[in-house]
Amino acid sequence: MKRYLFALLVCFPICFSSLVFSQNKNQIILDSIFKTSSEVYFATTITDKNEIHALTRLISIDNVSGLTIYAYANRKQFSHFLDLGYNYSILPHPGSLLKEEDLNMRGKNSKSPITNWNFYPTYEEYIDEMNGFAASYPNICKVVPIGTSVQGRQLLAVKISDSLNIEQGEPEVFLTSSIHGDETTGYVLMLHLIDSLLTGYGQNTRITNLVNNYQIFINPLANPDGTYRGGNNTVAGATRYNANDVDLNRNFPDPKGGPHPDQNAWQTETEAFMRFDSINHFVMSINFHGGEELFNYPWDTWAKLHADDEWLNHVGREYADTVHLYSPIGYFTGPSYSGNGVTNGFAWYEVEGGRQDYTTYFHNGREVTLEISSTGTPPASYLTNYWKYNVRSFLNYIEESSYGINGRVSDSVTNLPILAKVLALGHDKDNSFVYSKLPSGWYFRPINQGTYAFTFSAPGYFSKTITGITASNWNTTRLNVKLVPLSIGFVEDLEHKQTLVYPNPSDGNTKLMIPEGQSQVISVEIFNSLGLLVLTKQLSKSNGSQFCPLDLTSLANGFYLLKMTGGMLTYENRIIIRK
Ligand SMILES: [Zn+2]
């Protein structure tokens, strides 16, 4: 005991003083790094990829190449990072690499019409352009406010559709860019896309089809405070983080990490986008970034695969392969470990609190993270090249939202639309099921080619399972569904009648399926085609089985009406005896 005490007495002052020394040293480092900037960009090396699990909660990892990590940090984050004792090298900040003339800033007072999207707009010019789109094309474009940023800048989307104010049962697709304020390629490409959709409407068959049959929402700039950190007139000095030095793409609720995986309160911008996701019904979405060139699909937060992993990979390959046809060799070939331009998020590196997993998990969506240029803010003269490489893939992606299985869910009695859950049996997991939307009752379920069983359910209705639904890639299988209300006593389930009697037609040796919620004893009455009662039977439901044998061999060939009563409910089913 004495020896331990001695060791403690000797060791404590030495350890304490070295701790104080290193803290002082860290303070000096922090003071020097954060003297003129609010965030730092740096590289560090790990010895094992598992270290990312802890680091991703501490700093904002931007890229991982082998065992080299590229990351951003604010002062508090970098202070925690220094405590870990990693070696690091500070890198030039991606938002401050270019000279002003390389940015080709276009101001609000620029009188020349836009003929070439080879510039970055000032903040005022951006707002002007967004309002200008809606003013010039009021029948197919309107500005949709999402909210405001911490510093009061506007978060805007445009909605492009031939039915701006009526929900026609079309898939809604959302494209949002530059949640990282210094990743600005997608910002200008989205403005270019809006312009092309509007000017191409009625001129180009494919674009006209897109505007007529989809509801396209585009938000070019998700983090204006970060992009205009250097002032409203330039994107030089743009930061990754928002005005509170928070990485917005780590600030969302996470399926694994809970509501606040980054330990920060939800930022004004985060709350605005969460609200926007809630009031709309996005079938698919893209979150545009820079710093790499790849298609990153869910999940980022955990290693398990998304139920639609094959489909997500199919859409990713379609995106990347098309890009490769129209771009120089070497473009869009990340991540470093595969080099083919498509990756599952977690396989690249683990992220908690990202928009992609939030939207995909909590809104039953399909969102991907598109890293579109290896340089966060490339020279403005490069922007038209990135456009040429990617534009066809943008259109492909939007069109994917209408493939797979879709249709309308409605009440079998009133035909009114229903908000129903659409579940692919034995396939869906981790919230990959979808819902139909109101007021149209339409659902959209993009899915990889194959044969599926779907269960449609809604409060107040009998669930309905439909088997043998075949989907094929690049095609649409229409499946309209009527659900029978629980509340009515007499039910004729016109669409689903074959599920009560198996087989149907039969030679008289049939089985009756007893719907859930029925009593143990079922009365069966059979009426002939003249409406005369020709047979009655009492059936007892055997334990554990939904099916009761039903002998109808005494009936002659023909059409009959089978009426089944048990408890409060009555079902009718037209049956055919054919011996
Ligand atoms: Zn990013």
Establish whether 492 is a catalytic residue. Answer: no
Q: How many domains does the chain have?
A: 4
Residue 502 lies in a domain: yes
pLDDT at 532: 80
- In whole angstroms, give the CA distance from residue 168 to residue 367: 23
Residue 9 lies in a domain: no
Query: Does an H or E element contain 295, and which?
Result: strand 292-297
CB 184 within 8 A of CB 238: yes
pTM above 0.85, yes or no: no
What mean pLDDT comes out for the span 243-269? 97
Which of 352, 378, 400 is the C-terminal boundary of a domain?
A: 400
CA of 291 to the centre of ligand 1 (A): 7
Residue 12 lies in a domain: no
- pLDDT higher than threshold 60 for residue 491: no
- pLDDT higher than threshold 90 for residue 399: yes
What mean pLDDT comes out for the span 129-157? 98
- pLDDT higher than threshold 80 for residue 487: no
Residue 7 lies in a domain: no
- In whole angstroms, give the CA distance from residue 184 to residue 380: 10
HEC sequence for 204-272: CHHHHHHHHHCEEEEECCCCHHHHCCCCCCCCCCCCCCCCCCCCHHHCCCECCCECCCCCCCCCHHHHH
CA of 64 to the centre of ligand 1 (A): 13
What mean pLDDT comes out for the span 91-111? 90
Question: What is the DSSP annotation of 34-74?
Answer: TTS-SEEEEEEE-SSGGGHHHHHHHSEEEEEETTEEEEEEE
CATH number of the domain residue 384 falls in: 3.40.630.10
CA of 262 to the centre of ligand 1 (A): 16
CA of 338 to the centre of ligand 1 (A): 20
Does residue 265 sit in the same domain as residue 167?
yes
- In whole angstroms, give the CA distance from residue 66 to residue 127: 41
Does residue 322 sit in the same domain as residue 374?
yes
Which of 350, 379, 400 is the C-terminal boundary of a domain?
A: 400
Residue 229: pLDDT band with limits 50, 70, 90: very high
- pLDDT higher than threshold 90 for residue 519: no
- pLDDT higher than threshold 70 for residue 550: yes
pLDDT at 367: 98
Does residue 261 sit in the same domain as residue 218?
yes
pLDDT at 496: 45
Q: Which two tokens stand for residue 316?
A: 């990713």
pLDDT at 563: 81
183: left (phi over 0), alpha (psi -120 to 50) or beta: beta
Three-class DSSP category at 489: coil
The residue with greater pLDDT, 167 or 77, is 77
| pLDDT tens per residue across span 522-547 | 788 898 777 788 999 888 776 666 77
CB count within 10 Å of CB 41 equals 23
CA of 93 to the centre of ligand 1 (A): 14
Q: CA distances (Å), 214 to each of 168, 364, 439, 445, in order?
A: 9, 19, 16, 15
* Average predicted confidence (pLDDT) for the chain: 90
Residue 222 lies in a domain: yes
- pLDDT higher than threshold 70 for residue 209: yes
CA of 278 to the centre of ligand 1 (A): 23
Residue 495: pLDDT band with limits 50, 70, 90: very low
CA of 508 to the centre of ligand 1 (A): 66
CB 451 within 8 A of CB 424: no
- pLDDT higher than threshold 60 for residue 202: yes
Residue 1: pLDDT band with limits 50, 70, 90: very low
Q: Which residues contact residue 438 at a Cβ distance below 8 angstroms, ignoring those fewer than 6 apart?
A: 167, 417, 419
pLDDT at 549: 84
Q: Which residues contact residue 138 at a Cβ distance below 8 angstroms, ignoring those fewer than 6 apart?
A: none
Does residue 353 sit in the same domain as residue 414?
no
Q: Which of 87-96, 152-161, 479-488 has the highest mean pLDDT?
A: 152-161
CA of 72 to the centre of ligand 1 (A): 10
Which of 91, 114, 133 is the C-terminal boundary of a domain?
A: 91
pLDDT at 16: 52
What mean pLDDT comes out for the span 248-270? 97
The answer to which of 110-119, 187-196, 274-283, 366-375 has the lowest mean pLDDT is 110-119
Range of the domain at 264: 100-400
Residue 8: pLDDT band with limits 50, 70, 90: very low
Residue 490: pLDDT band with limits 50, 70, 90: very low
pLDDT at 131: 97
pLDDT at 4: 45
Catalytic residue from among 371, 399, 492, 572: 371
The answer to which of 63-72, 330-339, 349-358 has the lowest mean pLDDT is 330-339
Is cis: bond before 261, omega within 30 of 0?
Answer: no
Does residue 471 sit in the same domain as residue 562?
no
| pLDDT tens per residue across span 23-61 | 788 899 999 999 988 999 999 999 998 999 999 989 999
